[in-house]
Amino acid sequence: MVRGKHHRSPPEPEGSEVEALRKNILGLEEELNKQKNQSEEYRGLLQRLQADFENHIKRSEIDRREFQKTASQGLVEKLVDVLDTMEIALKASSKDSAGEKMLDGFRRVYKQLDLILKAEGLEEVSNEGLFNLDVHEVVETLSDGSKHDGEIVDVVQKGYRLNGKLIRASKVIIIKNNGECDGKNNRD
């Protein structure tokens, strides 16, 4: 006798069992689809969070650089006043020959302070040419027919920018010959 010819096959499931298995499969497929959808939602959320985090890091770096530029602005503004006072003292002292060594030391301090402030990003506002409303403040007007309206004839107090931002306008005396000088077309 040959063995193996008589193996038993599993019994065929009945109709109700097949239907129960189909329902079970459908239920499992639905659950799988729900899990896939939830997984996609989580993936999208994670990608948005990652993008938000990267944007936050970039924004923080920009803010940090901006803070570094302007952190010393208050100090520089105060030192600008000291620079002005020193310049006035130098002009007054140069008329008097007494105390030449003191005057020389004063010049050196002035020059050193000026270099430090320039290294921090301080620059003088240009006062050449015509009045510019954006960077000049008129403190007095004069009439002189030989000069143009809006022409700056004297600077009472220098103006300054720190890292390109105006921190003090120049106080100037300008010409005004019965015309209008609004300073709008005279950009620095």
Where do the domains of the chain lie?
16-71, 72-120, 127-188
How far apart CA 36 and CA 29 sit, in angstroms, is: 10
Q: Which tokens hold the place of 127? A: 């006062």
Phi, psi of 130 (to 5 degrees): -100, 155
SS (HEC) of 78-94: HHHHHHHHHHHHHHHHC
With a cut of 70, which residues of the chain have pLDDT below it? 1-13, 94-98, 179-188
The residue type of 98 is: A
CA 135 and chain centroid, separation: 20
Residues 6+ apart with CB under 8 A from 131: 138, 150, 151, 152, 172, 174, 181, 183, 186
- Domain 127-188 classified CATH 3.40.1390.10? no
| pLDDT at site 3 | 54
93: nearest Cα among 104, 77, 79, 82: 104
